[in-house]
Structure 1
Amino acid sequence: MPQTISPLELSSHNTLGSLWIAIDGQVYDLTEFAPNHPGGLSVLLQHAGKDGTAAYNAVHSPSLLQSTLPVSKHIGRISSPLPAPSTSTSRLSLTAPKPPLSSLISVNDFRLAAHTFLPPKTLAFISSAATDCITHRRNSTAYSDITLRPRVLVDVSAPVSLKTTILGQQVSSPIFVAPTSLGKTVHPEGEREIARACKELGGIAQVISTSASFSVSDVVQAALDHPIPAGGETGTGANVPVFLQLYVDKHAPNTEALLASLTSPDHLNDDNQQQSANKIKAVFLTVDAPVPGKREADERVPTDNPPSSPAAAAATTTPMATQLTPTSDSSGSALGRLMASYISPSLTWQTTLPWLRRLLPRSVPLVIKGIQTAADAVLAARAGADGIVVSNHGGRSLDTSPATILVLLELQRCAPWVFERVEVFVDGGITRGTDVFKALCLGARGVGVGRAVLYGLGYGREGVKRVLEILNAELVTTMKMCGVTSLDEIHAGLLNTRAVDHLVPNSLSEEHPYAKWRRAKL
């Protein structure tokens, strides 16, 4: 006979550790399933310990849970009718408390914690990826397919220094903050708070998006004004090298004015004269998003229309990009798509790079962000780029594009000379220090982290700092376990890539066999 569950017992299972929901009178244990819920963890937490029938039936077949959830997770029937869910607000309050920062010991912990307290729209914007999220998942899983080859009986007692240079700038770690948009939707201080954390860590490089919530000048000033903590490092390494991630505006003069404002000296007093020299140290031209990707999780969660308050409006505008307030349309409500209408889709190798090079002082490196093939890496090197970022926009642009670590492998196989010509960076899927180590083994100069930093930003400066400290500590542990104590000692021989080698092209011009056959027939 099925177990009978009282409403009081159901209501006690309302946290991440024990999450029950009643649907059509049946009680289900979704604790293990919740972190992998395609619609996000937050919607399950909204209904944890309650009746979720209306929300479930609005998007799912009534039989789906019966056929997909193991029988062991079918707890029983509710003993008496539950009160109808409140419909007075579109955003139900979350019942789980914000986990204490001290309890989070991995990047994944921060991801799960963020699902308990970030607003649904913010969470959807951060975590969403293109269409079926295949590339987003592969960015991470490809790292796990590559295994380490540790060397033993090596003296690793010497302290490990992660200090290096990125585009000529001294940094305290090869890990840098990848560009993300609208940081203010996560924390009122947004990118400024990230800069403060980077400074406290001795100078982590930060890339500021054109679609950030604060201007580059605001972020730089926040870092300059922030005191170095007691016992922290001083000198140039304590400053935050700031780079600009550039989306080229359809109206070219807007981009020209932006770059001029970030590379021309200001009228400053003597005390702040260093600010003009520290505005941007490089420009990262974004080339993998000529049009916005279809991020369905973000499309499904409606925006406030109009914004519920001046603060809400301020959190969804960008100071360097065209000033827009997002409103839903017939395609949905994705912030990324609704706010990207200013981005030019007409960039080319022949015109865009020479144009930008003329606009920038020679001292400001130009980096091409969004390289997804070795062939384009070669074009970037031959076009005079100072660096490239192997990136697929965190899986947010084109689904089923290759995992970024596989593109590094392709570059090693097909055009290894590129690593000597330009500085190569990579982002996407980085959740562990072992991931950073593997990317460095395959030639990356620096490794970008985006989503993890935003999850940390939910706790402010201390949260961002803790995320980066965790990754740094895991990287040091990995290095010592593999028998190295210096970044210079890291090499590809410390990896076994055979599980993914068959996915990597053998030449720059490799074609599918069918294409060769068809061309021969024609």
Structure 2
Amino acid sequence: MRFSTVFLSFLSVALAARPFLNEPDTGIEEVFGSLPAGTLPELSLIAGLPDFEWAAKRVLHPFSYMHFRNGASGEYSYRNNLEIFHRYRFRPRVMQDVTNVASTLPITLLGHNFSAPIFISPCARAGLAHPESELGLVRGAAAENILYMPSLFANLSIEDISAAKGEGQVLFQQINKASIDNDTQALFQRIESSGAKAIVFTVDAVSPRNRQRSGRFGFDQGDYSSYDLATWDTYKQLQTMTSLPIVLKGIMSVEDARAAVAAGVPAIILSNHGGRQLDGAPSPLEVALEIHEKSPEVFTQIEVYADGGVRYGTDVLRLLALGVRAVGLGRPFMYANVYGTEGVTYAIQMLKREIAVDAGNLGLPDLKAINASYVNWTPDLRL
């Protein structure tokens, strides 16, 4: 008994000390590691979304890579976002007719039709990755008919991004702060005039930042004496200033999900800002699981989206299984944008293919029929 206890203690320490893999070892270094510095691998040889980060790091200026990569404090929430998915095992079904599962990917979000339950999350300063900035993102989203949510801090203006839209393309415009004043009214008017179909209000960044990685590069962390005002009363007043639906991005608890329902919010995004704002904030998967366990009705009362740490089709499936309607990705598409529109389009196609293939291997004939029974929600804490 004594030996067994000591051995288990040793094993737990050893597992806890394992190195963190920002990109998994899939052989990319062996195949492309000899490429000259600053050279991108041929796009057709990119095997998965994590490869885009490996490739982008080779060609981006260190400051640019830091801007996309950095997280809050010790970046533990950033790591948890990536690793949490693998703690929950699937419960695959067999002897199912999955031959048409790829045709079941299309989805409607706030009444608008898209080809798959994925979207490009708001990310600032795409110009650090490619000279055409957000054009690669909006054009890639148009080519594959998925939702794109441009950041208010994009390099291109709201109007320039709107002008690049494809025929019939739908965008939701993100904003970071909104006071009840003329500036916000003018901003809302610009967004409405641009043709955006919804406003995405990021509510989890009301305080200054604490990002040590970016601080080392001299990146501004914000005014430590300045805090933004964002309350449920603020939201109600904002609703009177626009005819567009206002989606809340940054919900991290079941209590706030319930409050959003009570406030008449049409959709929420479970998100911890990519682990960039509060280190120790839960991952979107953990929040979705909390809502599923304590208030599952939320998933039918409003539309629930999620973003953060998603790199694989299997990640998307785990979130969909809990009731999430659509899943967003930020960093992977910013890294794919080092190839421009072609890279973003290729990344979307790759993720769609993974979702369909993984759904088939899960034994799921219809993606919309996925439910929590397809996953064992007891976490494997050995990882």
TM range (shorter): 0.7 to 0.9
The one-letter amino acid paired with 2:235 is: L
Secondary structure of 1:359's match?
coil
Alignment of 1:305-384 (within 5 A): 332-334=218-220, 337=221, 345-350=228-233, 352-361=234-243, 364-384=244-264
Alignment partner of 2:190 out of 253, 261, 264: 261
Confirm whether residue 172 of structure 1 aligns to residue 55 of structure 2: no
Secondary structure of 2:278's match?
coil
Maintained 8 Å contact 1:35/1:112: no
Q: Deviations over 1:227-270 (max 9, x none)?
A: xxxxxxxxxxx633100111125683222101012225xxxxxx
With normalisation by structure 1, the TM-score equals 0.64
| Cα 1:145–1:96 shift into 2, 3 Å | same
Q: Deviations over 1:197-243 (max 9, x none)?
A: 11111x1100011111112222121123xxxxxxxxxxxxx633100
| Cα 1:191–1:341 shift into 2, 3 Å | farther
Secondary structure of 1:208's match?
coil
- Aligned partner of 1:428 in structure 2 is 308
- Aligned partner of 1:491 in structure 2 is 371
CA offset at residue 342 of structure 1? 12
Secondary structure of 1:368's match?
strand
The one-letter amino acid paired with 1:299 is: G
Alignment partner of 2:59 out of 93, 114, 117: 117
Secondary structure of 2:102's match?
coil
Alignment partner of 1:476 out of 337, 340, 356: 356
Aligned residue-pair number? 352
Which entry has the higher C-alpha Rg, 1 or 2? Answer: 1
The one-letter amino acid paired with 2:78 is: H
The one-letter amino acid paired with 1:98 is: L
Alignment partner of 2:293 out of 395, 404, 413: 413
- Aligned partner of 1:465 in structure 2 is 345
**CA distance in 2: counterparts of 1:213 and 1:191, whole angstroms:** 7
Greater relative CO, 1 or 2 (CA 8 Å, sep 6+): 2
The one-letter amino acid paired with 1:295 is: R
Alignment partner of 1:299 out of 191, 215, 231: 215
**CA distance in 1: counterparts of 2:236 and 2:22, whole angstroms:** 45
CA offset at residue 95 of structure 1? 2.8
Secondary structure of 1:190's match?
coil
The one-letter amino acid paired with 2:282 is: P
**CA distance in 2: counterparts of 1:125 and 1:144, whole angstroms:** 26
- Aligned partner of 2:29 in structure 1 is none
Maintained 8 Å contact 1:246/1:286: yes
- Aligned partner of 1:505 in structure 2 is none
Q: Deviations over 1:160-181 (max 9, x none)?
A: 2211101111011110000000
Confirm whether residue 183 of structure 1 aligns to residue 126 of structure 2: yes
**CA distance in 2: counterparts of 1:377 and 1:135, whole angstroms:** 20
Secondary structure of 2:136's match?
helix
Alignment of 1:51-90 (within 5 A): none
**CA distance in 2: counterparts of 1:186 and 1:391, whole angstroms:** 23
Which has the larger share of helix?
Answer: 2
Maintained 8 Å contact 2:37/2:59: no
**CA distance in 2: counterparts of 1:333 and 1:263, whole angstroms:** 32
- Aligned partner of 2:75 in structure 1 is 133
Q: Deviations over 1:13-53 (max 9, x none)?
A: xxxxxxxxxxxxxxxxxxxx99759xxxxxxxxxx99xxxx
- Aligned partner of 2:12 in structure 1 is none
Q: Deviations over 1:84-130 (max 9, x none)?
A: xxxxxxxxxx8352222122110111111111001111100000000
Alignment of 1:389-404 (within 5 A): 389-404=269-284
**CA distance in 2: counterparts of 1:445 and 1:129, whole angstroms:** 26
Secondary structure of 1:389's match?
strand
**CA distance in 2: counterparts of 1:187 and 1:342, whole angstroms:** 34
With normalisation by structure 2, the TM-score equals 0.87
Maintained 8 Å contact 1:206/1:240: no
**CA distance in 2: counterparts of 1:449 and 1:370, whole angstroms:** 14
Maintained 8 Å contact 1:127/1:451: yes
In structure 2, runs of 5+ residues without a counterpart are 1-18, 24-32
| Cα 1:159–1:416 shift into 2, 3 Å | closer
- Aligned partner of 1:329 in structure 2 is none
Alignment partner of 1:282 out of 198, 222, 229: 198
The one-letter amino acid paired with 2:306 is: V
**CA distance in 1: counterparts of 2:101 and 2:267, whole angstroms:** 30
Q: Deviations over 1:125-181 (max 9, x none)?
A: 000000111100111111011111110011112252211101111011110000000
